[in-house]
Structure 1
Amino acid sequence: MGRAPRNQRPNILFGYDGSRENDAALRWAVEEARARGLALVICHCWHWPYPPGHVDDGVEAIVRRAGERLLEQGVRRARDLGADAVRGRLRREPVLQALVRESEDAELIVVGSHDCRRLPAGSTAMRLPAQARRPVVAVRHAAPSHGLVVAGVDGSAGGAAALRLAVEEAVLRGWPLRVVYGAWEPGTVPESELPLFGDRARLARTRAAMLERVAGPWRERHPDLDMRVSLVLERPREALLEAAQDADLLVVGDRGTGHLDPLLLGATSSAMLHHAPCTVAIVPQTGGPGEPPA
C-alpha cells in the first residue's frame, strides 16, 4: 500500500458500541490507522438515562463501569486486529456530541452502519456527517469486497474534497479509482445553464470538460494510479448507486451544488448512506480534504 500524500491530523477516531456491525467498522478503522501511520482513538459513550434529579450513585457507578469494560474490550479487539497505537476514550454524553468534540484531532471518523435499506433515520451514521467537520466513514456490515474506490463529483467544493479523499484511499489501499459525475441535475443549476438540458450533446461536452479539469490534476500527480472517469447523463443518485455496486468504498461530498441548511446532508449523500451496498465516506466542504496543491 502507498502512503498518505499530505500532512495529517494525529489520529483516526472510531465510535465503538460493541455490536456485530461495529466490529466490521473497527477492522476498517484499524486498517485505516495502520495505512496512514496514525494512532487509533476508540471512543465509547455511556449515559445515565434518567433526569439529573433521579441519580442513584451506586447504580450510576455500575453503568459507568459497564461502559469502561466495554471500552477495554474494544481496545483489546483493536490490538488483536493489529492496531499499532490505540487508546480508549470514555465520554459521558450522547454519541453524536462526543464524536464531534473528539474529532478535532482526527483525520477522519469511522462508525459502523447497518445493512443498506435498514439505516435508521436517527442513527449516528446518518446524523454525524451533517455536523462533523471531518470526513465520516460509515462502514457497511458484511459488504462485498471488490477492491475499488468510487468518487462522486459535481463541480462543488464538497465534490472536490471527496475526490481528494478518494484518491488518498485508492493510493493507500492499492485499489483502482472510478470518478463518476451524474450530470443530469437541472434542479440544482443556475437558470443560465438550463438550456444545456435541451441539448444532450452540448451538455455532455460541457460537463466532460469540467470533469477533466477536476480529475486531470490528480491523474498527473499520481500517474501510477488506475483512475477512470465516467460522465453519466443520469441523476447523481442513480449514477452513483449503479457505480457503487462494484465498489468497496464510495466517497461523496456532504452536499452538492444546491443550497441547503448547513445542518442537513444533501439528498444524494443521504441516499448513499441509506442505499449504497458498500462502505460510504461523507466529506465536508469545510475541514475536509481540498484541492490538490499546485
Structure 2
Amino acid sequence: MKPEHKDIMKARKRNIRLTVAYDGTNYNGFQRQNPPAVAVQNILEDRLQKVFGDTVELAASGRTDAGVHARGQVVNFFTDGSIPVDRVPRAVNSILPPDIVVLEAAEADREFSARHSAVSKIYKYRILQGDIPDPFERNYSWNIRKELDVESMRACLELIKGEHDFSAFRAAGGPPVSPVRNIYEAALEVQQGGRIVELTFHANGFLYHMVRNIVGTLGNVGLGWKSVGDFKRIMDSLDRSQAGATAPAQGLFLDKVFYSKI
C-alpha cells in the first residue's frame, strides 16, 4: 500500500484478508507494475475493485519475483464494500484468470497487515534431476540434467538451520535490512521415484533472492563441484561472490505464511 494512501484506506469499514494461489509463469512478479508489464497484483486489484465497488490497494506478505509461484500468498486490503466474506472467493474467482485463485477470505483485525504481521514463511523449491526433461515440469522446477548427491545437499541444509548471517546468499538490490535470519526447518525430500528433489525452507524471514541463492549453491554441491566444507566456508565468508548462481525462478513456491508462532 502506498504510504500516502494508508490513512485513507484505514478509514474504511473493513479489513479483508485473502489467501491466494497463483502460477507465476505469465506474470512479472507479484508487485504492481506499470503497463505493458503485468503483475499478479495488477490483476487481483482490478478484479477485487469490480467485486467490492471501491479502489483496492493490496498489502502482501511478500513480493514474489517474475516466474515464482505461490500456494499460500496472503494479502489484505481495506474496503467499504458490503459483500459477505464467505461469498468473496467465488465472486472473485469467477472473473479472475485461471492461473490466479482466491483460496480463502476472512475479516481481519484492523491492525492486521499481511506483510508486517507475518512471523514466519515456508518456501519450497523443486529440482527435476536427470537428463530427460519433462514438459509438464518445465515451468515448475529447475532441470539439472545429472543425478545429484542428495546426501551432501542434506548435510548442507543442516548447516543453515538456526540463526545466522546470510549475507553470502543475499542478492544486491534488496531492502537495507539485517542479514540475520533464523531458519527453523531446512529439509530435502526425493519424490516421483527420484525425479524430483523438493527443498523446504521455513524461516522467520528471507532476504532478497536468499532461497534461490542457497539452492544455486546447493546445486553445485549436488553436482560435486563444491563440497559440504566449501558450502560452510561460503556461508561463513558472508561474501555473495563466493556462492553459486541464483537458481531459476520457476522452481520456487511461496508455500505458507504464518501469523502466530508454531
More strand by share: 2
TM-score normalised by L of structure 1: 0.26
TM-score normalised by L of structure 2: 0.28
More helix by share: 1
